[in-house]
Structure 1
Amino acid sequence: MTITIKDVAKKANVSIATVSRILNNKPGYTKETENKVLQVIEELGYHPNGLARGLINKRTHTIGVLVPQISSMLMSGFLTGIEAAAHEYGFSVIVCHTELQGPKTTQYLNVLKEKQVDGIIYTSDLLTEEHYQILKDMGKPLVLLSSESYEFPVPYVKVNDRLAAYSATEYLIKKGHRKIGMISGLKEDSLAGQPRIDGFMQAMRAHQLPIKNEWIVPIGFKFEEGIKGFRQLIKQFPDMTAVFAASDELALGILSAAYQMDIKIPDQLSVIGYDNLEIAAMSIPPLTTVAQPSEKMGKKAAELVFQMMVKKQPVESRIFPHEIIERNSVRTRGK
C-alpha cells in the first residue's frame, strides 16, 4: 500500500499544507509540530517523490472532472482511478455531471474556473470549439479520457474503439458464428458510436461474411436501450446466432429481454459485451466481454495532468490495450 502525504497529515493531526511546508522548509509551523510530523513520516515510511513535491506551491490542490453520466458504471471505474491518483498527490476531485448538455458543460467550466482548479479531465464527450476556447483561456492542464480530438491539440487516454470492436466480432466468428447482429451507440457519436460500428463491419468483411444495415441497431449504451434494441433487432434478424453489444449495459439489457422472450443464452443466442464492468461477472450467465481497464485509464489521465503541472510541457497520449474476457455467454457452434 502506497503511503501518501494525506496519510501523514491524518496521523499527525495536521493539514496537508502543513506537511508540505515542513517537507519543503517553508515557515508557518512550530518546532513541536515539525518534530511530530517528521516522527510520523519515519513511522509510516513516507517517501515523497519529485512530482508530489513539485505540486505543492501555489495550488488549490483540486482537479475538475467532467462526466456525462454520473450513474454510469464505466464512469465509476474512471473516477475510482482518478481519485486514487489524486489521493497519492494530496489532491481533491470535483466531479461535474454534464449530462452531455452543452450549456451545462459551459456552466460547470465556469464553476471550475472560479474554483481555480489546478487541472481538468474531460471524459467521454466530444470537445467542442466553445468548450476548448474556455479551457484554453483557463490555461490549466487538460486531458481527455475515453475521448480524443483531431481538431484540438489535447492529450488523451483511451482504448482503440474500432480495433476493440473488431476483436469482439472476430471472437464470435472464430467461435463458429456467421449470422451476427450488433446493438450499438448512435452513429452520430464519433467517439464510441460509429467507431465500434466500423470495427464490427470491418471484421465481418474481413471474413467475407454478409452484413446488412438492418442487422445493426444504433440506439445508445444504456441497459433500457439494450432491451429495446434487442426486441427490434430480433424482429429484423430472427435467425442470428450471436450479437455484439457495444457496452456491457446494452448486453445486460439483451440478457434481460432474451429471458423475457424465453431465448436461452448461450444455447440459442451468444452475446458479447464491451467494457468489462464489475457487474458483467454477476449476470446470468456471466458475460463474455471486451475489457477496457477503466480504473487504470482514470489513474493515468490524472497522472498526466499532474505531470503537465510540474513539467509545463505537453505529454504523450496513451492508448490502453483491450482484451477479451471469456465467461459463459458465448458458445462455440459446430462447423
Structure 2
Amino acid sequence: MSATIKDVAKLAGVSVATVSRVLNDLPGYSEETRAKVLNAVTELGYQPNAIARGLVNKRTQTIGVLFPSVSSAFSSEILHGIEEAAQEHGYSVVVCNTAEDGKRTMKYLQVLREKQVDGIILSSGVLKEEYYETLRKMGIPVVLVASKSEYADIPYVKVDDHQAAYDACTYLIRQGHRRIGMISGPAHDVIAGEPRIAGFRAALADHGLPVDEAPVLDGRFSFAGGCKAAEELLRQAPEVTAVFAAGDEMAIGVIYTALRLGVAVPAQLSVIGYDNLKLAEMSYPPLTTVAQPLAGMGRLAASKLLTRIETGQPEASEFVPHQVVERGTVSRRE
C-alpha cells in the first residue's frame, strides 16, 4: 500500500498540517522540522497527490498540450521546447493527440478539466468557437502555438506564414528561377494553408511573374501527399524549374518523386521546404528550407502560459523570426 501524508507525519513526529506546509513550500516551521519531513518522505517513498496538493495551493502543477498529430516531427520539436520550460518551473505536461481533424478535441478538453490542469497550450489547429467557449468556462489560461487566435484574450506564438512563404519564393526568384510551382497545404486551412499560398503568390506578383501560370497543388502537409502532388505537378508543368513546398515532409516527397522520375535535384529541379525539421538535414541532397524555431516557439508559448498562471496578468501574442537555411537543393539559374 502506498504511503500517505499521515504516515509521513507520524514518522517525522509532526502534524499533517506541518507536512503539508513543507511540501507546498509554505512558511511556519524550522529547518530541522523541514529536514525531518523530507527524510520521512524519502524513506517512505511518499508521492504527493497532485489534486490533493491543489486544494492547498490552488494548482496541480500540470499543463495540458493538444496536438493534431503527436507523432509528427513538427509536433515533437514544439513539445521539446514546452517540456523544457515546464520542467524548469516544476510543472508536468499532459499531452493529448486530437487527430488531424481535431475530432477528439472536445473529449480531451473534458479530460483536462477533470485533471484540473492549470493551463492549456493548443498547437497548430484552429481555435473553433466551441473550443473557445469550453475553455472560457474552464477559467484557466490558454496559449496557442503555431496557430492564431482572433480572440483578444487568447495569445499566440507563431511565425508570420505569409511573410515566410513570400521570402521562400523570393529566394527562388533571386536564384534566377522564373517558372516556380508550389506544393501547399489545404487552401481552406486558415492557419498554414491559405497564408502560405497568398505569400507565394504575392512574391510572384511583386517580381513581375504571372501568378496564374504558377501551379499550386495540395500536398496535405505529408510525405505521401507531397509525392502525389509532385508527380502531378511535374506532369502538368514540366517547364517548372523550382518548387516551394510549404512543409519539409512534402519537400522531401518532392525530392523522392523527382529522383524516381529521373529528374535531378537541384540540377533540373530546385526545391525549398518550410519548417527546418531535423529531417531536412537528413535528406539527400540536404534540404534548403525556411526555418521556424519550433522548439523555441514551444518554450516561448509555455513561458507565456506559466507567467499567466503564476501572475494572472495577460500575455501578448508574438510573431517569432524565420530565416532561409541554405543547403543543397536549390541551384542558380543563369
TM over 0.5: yes
Instruction: Report the secondary structure of 2:104's partner residue.
Output: helix
Structure 1: distance between partners of 2:171 and 2:306: 38
User: Could you list the runs of 5+ residues in structure 1 that have no partner in the other structure?
Assistant: 1-16, 38-55
Shift of 1:181: 0.2
Cα distance 1:264–1:110, how it changes in 2: closer, same or farther (>3 A)? same
Cα distance 1:186–1:101, how it changes in 2: closer, same or farther (>3 A)? closer
**Larger of the two Rg values belongs to structure:** 2
**Correspondence 1:326 to 2:333:** no
**Correspondence 1:231 to 2:231:** yes
Counterpart position of 1:194: 194
**Correspondence 1:67 to 2:67:** yes
Counterpart position of 2:49: none
Structure 2: distance between partners of 1:308 and 1:285: 44
Shift of 1:36: 7.3
Instruction: Report the secondary structure of 1:235's partner residue.
Output: helix
**Correspondence 1:177 to 2:177:** yes
Structure 1: distance between partners of 2:30 and 2:312: 28
Aligned CA RMSD, in angstroms, stands at 2.2
Structure 1: distance between partners of 2:86 and 2:123: 16
Cα distance 1:232–1:28, how it changes in 2: closer, same or farther (>3 A)? farther
Counterpart position of 1:317: 317
Cα pair 1:18 1:29 within 8 Å, conserved: no
Cα distance 1:28–1:225, how it changes in 2: closer, same or farther (>3 A)? farther
Q: Deviations over 1:11-45 (max 9, x none)?
A: xxxxxx989747542669963626979xxxxxxxx
Shift of 1:214: 6.4
Counterpart position of 1:306: 306
Structure 2: distance between partners of 1:62 and 1:279: 31
Q: How many percent identity over aligned positions?
A: 47
Counterpart position of 1:33: 35
Letter in structure 1 aligned against 2:129 = E
Cα distance 1:188–1:26, how it changes in 2: closer, same or farther (>3 A)? farther
Structure 2: distance between partners of 1:227 and 1:296: 30
Structure 2: distance between partners of 1:132 and 1:22: 32
Letter in structure 1 aligned against 2:135 = L
Letter in structure 1 aligned against 2:273 = G
Letter in structure 2 aligned against 1:248 = D
Q: Deviations over 1:112-158 (max 9, x none)?
A: 00000000001100001111000000011100111112255310000
Counterpart position of 2:264: 264
Cα distance 1:19–1:228, how it changes in 2: closer, same or farther (>3 A)? farther
Runs of 4+ in 1 over 6 A off after TM superposition: 17-20, 34-37
Counterpart position of 2:282: 282
Q: Deviations over 1:257-302 (max 9, x none)?
A: 1111111100000000000001101110000000000000000100
Instruction: Report the secondary structure of 1:332's partner residue.
Output: coil
Cα distance 1:160–1:32, how it changes in 2: closer, same or farther (>3 A)? closer
Cα pair 2:153 2:314 within 8 Å, conserved: no
Cα pair 1:185 1:246 within 8 Å, conserved: yes
Cα pair 2:179 2:214 within 8 Å, conserved: no
Cα distance 1:263–1:310, how it changes in 2: closer, same or farther (>3 A)? same
Letter in structure 2 aligned against 1:315 = E
Instruction: Report the secondary structure of 2:328's partner residue.
Output: coil
Structure 2: distance between partners of 1:163 and 1:103: 30
TM-score, normalization by structure 1: 0.85
How many residue pairs were aligned? Answer: 300
TM-score, normalization by structure 2: 0.85
Counterpart position of 1:291: 291
Q: Deviations over 1:146-176 (max 9, x none)?
A: 1112255310000000000000000000000
**Correspondence 1:76 to 2:80:** no
Instruction: Report the secondary structure of 1:212's partner residue.
Output: helix
